[in-house]
Amino acid sequence: MTIPNLLTLARIFLTPVLAWLVLRKSMTAAFFVFFLAGLTDALDGLLARVLDQKSRVGSYIDPVADKLLLVTAFVLLWEIGEIPFWLVLLIVGRDLFILCGFFVLFFSRVKFEIKPLASSKLTTLFQLGTVFTLLGRSILELSGWVYLALFVTTAGFSILSGGQYLLKGLALLKRHRSGNTAQ
């Protein structure tokens, strides 16, 4: 077990703590737990590169930990009335869409590497920023237009990256099928 993988597991274990705090509307405590979880996300990637501890396990559990944390946060923030349903639907729908695409490629025996797109990294950054900003309302309240701009930008990047994953998946599937018919 590598240090980056332990940090990723810590993020997974922080998710139910975050959920409990959000449901109790203990937003300041939730803010700090989310900050800590975000810190583990930044550190696991950095340490994997610096310590040369990249692993296949890490390449699978890191995005799962990110999605678990973010989807939990978005759904619960909607549940307590902090975020619009359309944004939650878009974010969760995108993730389910990508997961379905993964399974289609996997069961079609398409060889592919799990590697996030640049737009996906920006999507994650804006999703993290959205949750961070909403949880931070207990510390600093911003103007309503800032939240709306953040929601729209997060939605835009979610749509962009989802579309790019769709195109990439279709290209992989097409290349795989044309390679199989040539044999």
**What rounded mean pLDDT belongs to the chain?**
91
Average pLDDT over residues 163-175: 92
Name the residue type at position 59: S
Average pLDDT over residues 113-121: 84
Q: Is the pLDDT of residue 114 over 80?
A: no
At a CB cut-off of 8 Å and minimum separation 6, what does 11 contact?
A: 37, 40, 41, 44, 65, 66, 69
Between 12-21, 149-158, 169-178, the lowest mean confidence (pLDDT) is in 169-178
Of residues 179 and 10, the one with the higher pLDDT is 10
> In whole angstroms, what separates CA 115 from the centre of its chain?
13
121 vs 115: CA distance, rounded Å: 10
Residue 119 token pair: 């737009």
How many of the other CB atoms lie within 10 Å of CB of 79?
Answer: 13
Burial class of residue 17 (count of CB atoms within 10 Å of its CB; 0-12, 13-18, 19+): middle
What is the predicted pLDDT for the residue at 85? 97
89 vs 173: CA distance, rounded Å: 27
84 vs 86: CA distance, rounded Å: 6
pLDDT tens digits, residue range 2-52?
A: 888 899 999 999 999 999 999 999 999 999 999 999 999 889 888 888 888
**One CATH from 1.20.120.1760, 3.40.50.1100, 3.30.70.20, 3.40.220.10 for 3-181:** 1.20.120.1760
Domain boundaries, the chain: 3-181
Burial class of residue 13 (count of CB atoms within 10 Å of its CB; 0-12, 13-18, 19+): exposed
What is the predicted pLDDT for the residue at 181? 61
